[in-house]
Structure 1
């Protein structure tokens, strides 16, 4: 799956970190949402909801976990899903999102990705 995102948003509020990419801010048809509860409850832990939540274009294409690699470059993000996660969500196992943001925002996106996925999964281009 590939798409160009004209809207990139991220925030951490009420112990929930979020990063989203959409093809349009208001008339969205393609999007990827990454979200993680930074202080999961005991119930979240029991349900396995203490990891990354990913949603692709629709809640029908969502799940907890499944992202095995994230590569951030100056103008794109490539997410690699494990085969079972891709099958569960009925999506490709590779998601490539192209976008343009100032370097300062790119560094913030890099930090948010690391917060969501961890340093071992996120690879950031040396120029960032």
Structure 2
């Protein structure tokens, strides 16, 4: 399992650009470790044909990114675990199929951001009962 601590968390729906973004980084301004998740909110036919309707995941560098490959997302009180398929592990140059991001639960502000997690991950999202959101 790959683990890092996010000291900065970003979640926003950008209606103007039609994209939903969720990001976790060890630092807001000069991140060394980060995961950025993006998804088109209203995919068109071309997006569907090309697979661009799937979640785009970037791990630490734009060269380590791809559409799709997320099998499950587990949200716990102080962490989120993203399980990847083999193709994503290779494309993202990860050492493991599970990336765990630890964070201060108060910083995440789950009540306000829950809608973004549910919108992006849908049925892939599992919320631990202890997270207080089940």
Q: TM-score, normalised by structure 2?
A: 0.87
* Residues 7-86 of structure 1 mapped to structure 2, 5 A cutoff: 7-14=8-15, 15-86=18-89
Cα distance in 1 for partners of 2:76, 2:21 equals 19
Structure 1 unaligned segments of length 5 or more: list them.
none
Q: Compare the two structures and name the one with the higher strand fraction.
A: 1
Q: Does 1:2 align with 2:15?
A: no
Structure 2 unaligned segments of length 5 or more: list them.
none
- Cα deviation, residue 64, structure 1: 0.4
8 Å CA contact 1:36–1:51 kept in 2: the answer is yes
Cα distance in 1 for partners of 2:108, 2:57 equals 25
Q: Which moved more, 1:100-109 or 1:7-16?
A: 100-109
Off by >2 Å, runs of 4+ in structure 1? 101-104, 107-111
- Cα deviation, residue 107, structure 1: 2.6
Alignment length (residue pairs): 127
Cα distance in 2 for partners of 1:24, 1:47 equals 33
